[in-house]
Amino acid sequence: MKKVLLIIIFFNSLFSINAQTLEELKAEQATKKDSISAIQSRVNALQGKIDAFPGWKIRAFGTIGGILSNFNNWYSQGVPNNSSGNIGFTVNANANLLQDKFFWRNAATLNLNWVKLDNKNNPDDDENFNPTTDVFNITSLYGRKLSDKFAISTLAEYRTTLLDNFNNPGYLDLGVGVTWTPITDLVFVIHPLNYNFVFSDNDTAFESSLGTKILADYTKKIGAINFKTNLSMFQSYKSSNLSNWTWTNSFGYTLWKMIGVGFDFGLRNNKQEALNYALNTLGDVDVTFDTVDNDLQSYWVFGLSYSF
């Protein structure tokens, strides 16, 4: 009986020691996590000071997404013999020169996507990758500082597609006004004197005009996270039909070295493009600005990301 009691006491003691050791390890782990968080906060604060220091600041990150498939005699589906694919990528790049009396901010965004669905049983089927998402945007903003946060500025922004209908349409905004930079990575531009040049073969749908240009951009890197949001808006003085806006967003999270996951999405409202699509693609010759369906445009890409 005494031996049994001794064995029970031994195992209880052993369990208590293990439990106590586990609790101690968890407590030590929590302390180290707090220390890591404190160190990361200090690193982020130092990075903010580095970003605000005069000189060139260059940054780029992007997202790559893709899937390929091939089926042979897969009878359970409607097209048993096919090959398909979806490939897309985005690139966001910034090159900013920050000085005590002026700044020069340059940015480029590229978003391209291709899709194919080849029905092997149909000899007339298209076997090629065809472009779907096609976005190209480049901006250059120069400002002469009135204070740490305000500047007299001039902006040039060009937007078009590269793979299909290059510069048809293409948009070039040129204007002057003021720029507000409340924090290092946030830029807010208002240019009441701006001309929106529109390049297109279709003069019925597209027209250049004078108006106000509004641009807001926030680009930030916090630890393993890259983030960019950009709103570009033009308000025409001639007609609201000639106004437009585009809002794009990019997220990248680094998992290992410079590789991670990324997500991009964008929204656009442009009545001129809606009318052009109805006239040329749908063949609706009777449509006008007053009758066209100006649906909200959108895209998104999810996949692997790479931070340069």
Render pLDDT for 145-200 as a digit per residue (tens, 0 to 9). 999 999 999 999 999 999 888 898 999 999 999 999 998 889 999 999 999 999 99
CA distance 131 to 111: 11
Examine the domain organization and report whether 123 and 234 are in the same domain.
yes
Examine the domain organization and report whether 35 and 66 are in the same domain.
no
- pLDDT tens per residue, range 73-132: 787 777 888 888 888 888 889 999 999 999 999 999 998 888 888 888 888 888 788 888
Examine the domain organization and report whether 125 and 23 are in the same domain.
no
Examine the domain organization and report whether 1 and 141 are in the same domain.
no
Tally of structural domains, the chain: 2
Examine the domain organization and report whether 134 and 14 are in the same domain.
no
Examine the domain organization and report whether 121 and 173 are in the same domain.
yes
Examine the domain organization and report whether 25 and 162 are in the same domain.
no
Question: Residue 284: which pLDDT band, with cuts at 50, 70 and 90?
Answer: confident
- pTM equals 0.76
Examine the domain organization and report whether 124 and 212 are in the same domain.
yes
Collapse the DSSP code of 85 into the 3-class scheme (helix H, G, I; strand E, B; otherwise coil) and give the result.
strand
Examine the domain organization and report whether 92 and 217 are in the same domain.
yes
CA distance 284 to 233: 28
CATH number at residue 215: 2.40.230
| Residue 210 in tokens | 């004078």
Q: Which of 33, 53, 73 is the last residue of a domain?
A: 53
The answer to whether residue 43 scores a pLDDT higher than 80 is no
Examine the domain organization and report whether 61 and 46 are in the same domain.
no
| Residue 75 in tokens | 């009878």
Distance set, CA 14 to CA 23, 28, 188, 225 (Å): 14, 21, 65, 45
Amino acid identity, residue 35? Answer: S
Examine the domain organization and report whether 263 and 301 are in the same domain.
yes
User: What is the domain range of residue 2?
Assistant: 1-53
CA distance 25 to 31: 10
Examine the domain organization and report whether 34 and 73 are in the same domain.
no
